[in-house]
Structure 1
Amino acid sequence: MEGLRLNLNALKPAAPKTDAVRATAKRKVEAKKTETLDEAFVRLSESKFTDKERRQFDAAYQAFRDGNFVRTGTGKLTKKEVCEIGRTHLAETGAAIRRQRIEETLANKPDNYYILTDDSELPGFVERIREEVRRQRTEWPGRFEKIGVDSLVACDFEGTGLDSYIDLSIGFSIWLPLLEEGYYLPYGHVGGFDVPAAHKDTDPQLTRSKVIAAISPYLSTPQHGKTFHMGAARYDLHVAQTDGYTIRGCVWDTLDAMHLMNEHEPSYGLKPLTQKYGKYFGVTGTVFTFEDLFGNRSPAPFNTELVGIYAINDVKYGWGLCEFQFEMMQKYGRLFDCYALIDSKLPETDVFMERCGFCIDLDQLRALEAEYEPKVEEATRRVFETYGIDDEFVRKMDRTINAAKIQKWIAAQQKRIRTADDRITKKLTKVNEMKAAGKTHTKSYQNELEMLAKYRKQRAELADATVDNAPQDIKEFVITNGNHIAYLIYDHLGIKDQTSKIERGKKRSTKSDVLDIYFSEEPSLEPLATVAEYTKLLTTYIRPILGSHGVESVMEVDGRLHTNFKAGGTATGRYSSSSYRARKPEVATWL
């Protein structure tokens, strides 16, 4: 009976926990949870991140430190979950900051900023432009003679997007410098969107057709000069064409002018330039960018007051930058003459050429493709023959390119060998001990022998940890692979590295401008130069235009090739261009 005696005290209900006990227990649980998350963040911090992911991770960690970190998943904390939480916090923080900036912008609207919302105000607005022109002719006689106009103002369009062919303007802004007045004419804002300071369908704005009728005569007059901050896209001139008229007298592009003045600016955006040089034309303090107020979207859903203040700021900044450039260029060398005689003529010319496009003889291109493809094949064959590219060449290339990887394999293989040898030694010791104890007749002894045989077999299958035994990852020479070309040039042929002439601090480059140096100086590279020449013609020009070999054609639905010219698109100052690829054929057809 003694063994059956129960501890009756154990069956009594536990005493209720006091609030203090509960609080202590809760703190312990929370402390344990915090420690676990701390460890998780330390572990995840060692992961590989893109710049975007790193910002998200940092935001999530800051939220955790602030006590605002709420998990969206269960189990082990992952990089994906942390980045998603960080993305959400960034969006929420950005939205809050954006709302604050919007409130600040609306609260500080200058008295000389005019946002017109009634069509009856248009005649008075046009009269103010006439007054500005009259005053400039009187107070600034001949000031703009070299750039071919007798007056100059800053203009800008706000639009539904960045596609200069199909996006529409939603408003026009202008700065009249002598009158010190800025105007915004809204006519394309839309309601129904959940944004701060949203435009409502009932909010007044101007009639598009009446605004265009009011401003187009002035904007189309060549002797009335305009400055825009357009750059390579020439967006505003394209927008006017889409709206049905042509801007003339566009004689100043502040982005192009800054390229001419300083080709090493970190950024050529209007806001960064204003932030940097604004002190010279009366703009100090923080300058809000488009993203600061509107994020990554069109300004069309926002109300006319907010967009109007932002737009007038833009033309005011644009005028200040233009005047600063205008004066500085005349002080130093012949920059102004260069700009006046050449650059001032480019915006209108570029847009004319871009919209015209180029007629392409597709039959001739197909003939060239048929001619060049066999030449590439023949030149490629000569590359393999000339440089002796065979299995041994490929193996040596693999040993060189993957040298670091091979050393890691050797270290790992040595560890595997040591582990296998240790297992065999321990198992052999065990077998000998059982043999000495006279246990050779037991099943355990037989099991030990089988395990010993298994370990010896595994050890025999392990190759020696040498370079020759390391796996070969590269199985063939690929003529379009930059690493393979680098091995051929720098290691196999021993050509002196001249990368630093093109890219300071870089080595062993296979970029086209570096290869061009070698091709011009090294006769031994003739076969490779031939491949590069014909491959570039095929892949850069012929196939993208024809849309052959699985490449989407860059030709537009009008049967022409359109491009965007970039006056400052190269380090050498030459023109460059990029294909216009934003407009989808089905969209253009529908329009």
Structure 2
Amino acid sequence: MTEWRDRFRILGVDTMTAGDFEGTGVDTYIDLSIGFSIWLPLLNEGYYLPYGHVDMRGELGFEFLTEQSAFKAGDPQLTRSKVIAAISPYLSRPNHGKTFHMGSARYDLHVAIKDGYEIGGCVWDTLDAMNLLNEHEESYGLKPLIAKYGRLFGIDGEIFTFEDLFGNRSPAPFNTELVGIYAINDVKYGWKLFEWQYEMMAQAPSADGKGRLLECYARIDSKLPETDVFLARCGFEIDLEGLAKLEAEFTQKLEEAKRAVIETYGIDAEFVRKMDRTINAKKVADWIAAQERKIARRDEAIAKLKASIAADEAAGKTHLKRYADAKTRLAELEAEVLVPADEKHAPLFTEEFSITNGNHLAYLIYDHLGIRDRTPQFKRGKTRSTAADVMEAYYAEEEALKPLATVAAYEKLLNTYVTKIPQALEADGRLHSEFKAGGTATGRYSSSGYSGRPIDILREFETEGDEPPWD
């Protein structure tokens, strides 16, 4: 606060450090922290405080552990309650700023809540910041970014990822020295990346020449991690009665919009036939070829039967059963009616138009209405797309597609919100979403529901010969 007075005032904090929790996993509601690491930039020192490592040697599924890498019962580590009591007053103070790296800020905030306190002053997430600085990075992981940009802020040499050291698993069974070396380097990398991002934003030019990118991050993005976690854990109360009324209203309007599509575009039997012949051209050709073969086989069989009958008659063998059978079979084949092998007589492979069928929609748009195909602008190497992003662009530009746009609007309202939200409520009757800044391809917010652990996780608690207590 003395040496860096007002350095980070724009973020609303008096100090800054980089922190990180190691945990039993990445589930924000179930997993627990096993240690905390922090980088103290003025001292240029990092520390790892371990308190939840466990001895898993000899346990099924932990054969990867070696004597050198494993945590052993009796190895020194700190006491969980004492560490939390020591670090929570600092971590909960909003005037002391913290940066958590590469999207883990929200995870760390969740972990602290499970440990009995709330982190304050979480004003930087290097993943959010990197998305704001450059939306075209090949990878936004901390280590790939350090490998790419580290030379600009004094970090050279090989960079090891979490997976390099521990694989896709918790670091809890590994010894505290190994995890500590990784964790301290992690917060060091996080701090260095934060400093560089901070300076890049401060220097970034803008249209008015005032360089307001840092101001934008400080006013908006710096508030997101804590806000997102609050929203996720608090959840949303849903007006189920109101949604039910909307479902009834929108369902009726959707049906009306679909009827309008049929009427506006003249979708009748002739339309369906033309569509069928276009989208099923190969099937029609295959049917014609198969029918030609069938007719040829019948004609060949008739010719052979006639020859056999004529031979028997010439030889005076009309009394034979062979002769009678040949006459009967000939009559059957000559009475058989085979439709001509041409497009006119080919069957319909599609008997009705469906607005949810991509092939049907493509025929309506590109063939019937003659809309210019601009798919390559959105999807390289693709043509005649009916994907949502392509269609949205068409709807904005093509007046002829207004009836389809109306259908799409009601389908999105129903399928994305009205009918889906009631099915996504948690046990407390609220909707809980995990929010992610820059989570979409366009850089917008994304959200996802908590999916819980797979049912296989229950096997971890079963013992041979015993039934699980929840049966």
Cα deviation for residue 397 of structure 1 reads 1.9
Counterpart selection for 2:37 from 167, 173, 176: 173
Q: In 2, Cα distance between the equivalents of 1:432 and 1:510?
A: 61
Per-residue displacement from partner, 1:81-114 (whole Å, max 9, x unpaired)? xxxxxxxxxxxxxxxxxxxxxxxxxxxxxxxxxx
| Distance of aligned partners of 1:312 and 1:447 in 2 relative to their CA distance in 1, 3 Å threshold | farther
Identify the residue that residue 378 of structure 1 maps to in structure 2.
256
Which shifted more, 186-195 or 156-165? 186-195
Q: In 2, Cα distance between the equivalents of 1:305 and 1:146?
A: 37
> Larger helix proportion, structure 1 or 2?
1
| Distance of aligned partners of 1:228 and 1:405 in 2 relative to their CA distance in 1, 3 Å threshold | farther
TM-score of the pair, normalised by structure 1 = 0.65
C-alpha RMSD over aligned residues: 3.7
| Structural mapping, 1:386-535, within 5 Å | 386-411=264-289, 420=297, 424=301, 431=308, 457=333, 464-503=340-379, 505-535=381-411
Counterpart selection for 2:445 from 557, 575, 579: 575
Matched positions, count: 443
Per-residue displacement from partner, 1:444-469 (whole Å, max 9, x unpaired)? 97699589959x94996765543344
Identify the residue that residue 255 of structure 1 maps to in structure 2.
127
Structure with the larger RCO, 1 or 2 (CA within 8 Å, 6+ apart): 2
Q: In 2, Cα distance between the equivalents of 1:459 and 1:227?
A: 87
Cα deviation for residue 422 of structure 1 reads 9.8
| Distance of aligned partners of 1:444 and 1:537 in 2 relative to their CA distance in 1, 3 Å threshold | same
Identify the residue that residue 96 of structure 2 maps to in structure 1.
224
Cα deviation for residue 255 of structure 1 reads 0.5
CA contact (8 A) 1:170 1:186 kept: yes
Which SS does the other structure have where 1:162 is aligned? coil
One-letter code of the match for 1:349?
T
| Structural mapping, 1:350-361, within 5 Å | 350-361=228-239
Identify the residue that residue 179 of structure 2 maps to in structure 1.
307
Cα deviation for residue 424 of structure 1 reads 4.5
Which shifted more, 458-467 or 483-492? 458-467
Q: In 1, Cα distance between the equivalents of 2:328 and 2:166?
A: 70
One-letter code of the match for 1:265?
E
Q: In 2, Cα distance between the equivalents of 1:497 and 1:227?
A: 47
Q: In 2, Cα distance between the equivalents of 1:322 and 1:352?
A: 24
| Distance of aligned partners of 1:284 and 1:375 in 2 relative to their CA distance in 1, 3 Å threshold | same
Per-residue displacement from partner, 1:12-49 (whole Å, max 9, x unpaired)? xxxxxxxxxxxxxxxxxxxxxxxxxxxxxxxxxxxxxx
One-letter code of the match for 2:280?
N
Cα deviation for residue 212 of structure 1 reads 1.0
CA contact (8 A) 1:232 1:568 kept: no
Q: In 2, Cα distance between the equivalents of 1:289 and 1:558?
A: 38
One-letter code of the match for 1:545?
I
CA contact (8 A) 2:312 2:323 kept: no
CA contact (8 A) 1:233 1:564 kept: no
Cα deviation for residue 253 of structure 1 reads 0.9
One-letter code of the match for 1:557?
A
Counterpart selection for 1:155 from 19, 24, 27: 19
| Distance of aligned partners of 1:415 and 1:329 in 2 relative to their CA distance in 1, 3 Å threshold | farther
Q: Where does structure 2 lack aligned partners over 5 or more consecutive residues?
A: 206-210, 459-469
Cα deviation for residue 369 of structure 1 reads 1.4
CA contact (8 A) 1:189 1:199 kept: yes
Cα deviation for residue 257 of structure 1 reads 0.9
Q: In 1, Cα distance between the equivalents of 2:26 and 2:441?
A: 25
Identify the residue that residue 190 of structure 2 maps to in structure 1.
318
Which SS does the other structure have where 1:234 is aligned? helix
Which SS does the other structure have where 2:124 is aligned? strand
Per-residue displacement from partner, 1:392-446 (whole Å, max 9, x unpaired)? 322322222222444445455556666x379659957995997799696798976
| Distance of aligned partners of 1:147 and 1:233 in 2 relative to their CA distance in 1, 3 Å threshold | closer
Per-residue displacement from partner, 1:314-349 (whole Å, max 9, x unpaired)? 222222222222222233312223223322222222
Q: In 1, Cα distance between the equivalents of 2:262 and 2:97?
A: 61
Cα deviation for residue 561 of structure 1 reads 1.7
Counterpart selection for 1:560 from 430, 435, 441: 430
Q: In 1, Cα distance between the equivalents of 2:146 and 2:334?
A: 71
One-letter code of the match for 1:555?
L
| Distance of aligned partners of 1:299 and 1:411 in 2 relative to their CA distance in 1, 3 Å threshold | farther
Cα deviation for residue 493 of structure 1 reads 2.0
1:240 correspondence with 2:112 = yes
| Distance of aligned partners of 1:400 and 1:224 in 2 relative to their CA distance in 1, 3 Å threshold | same
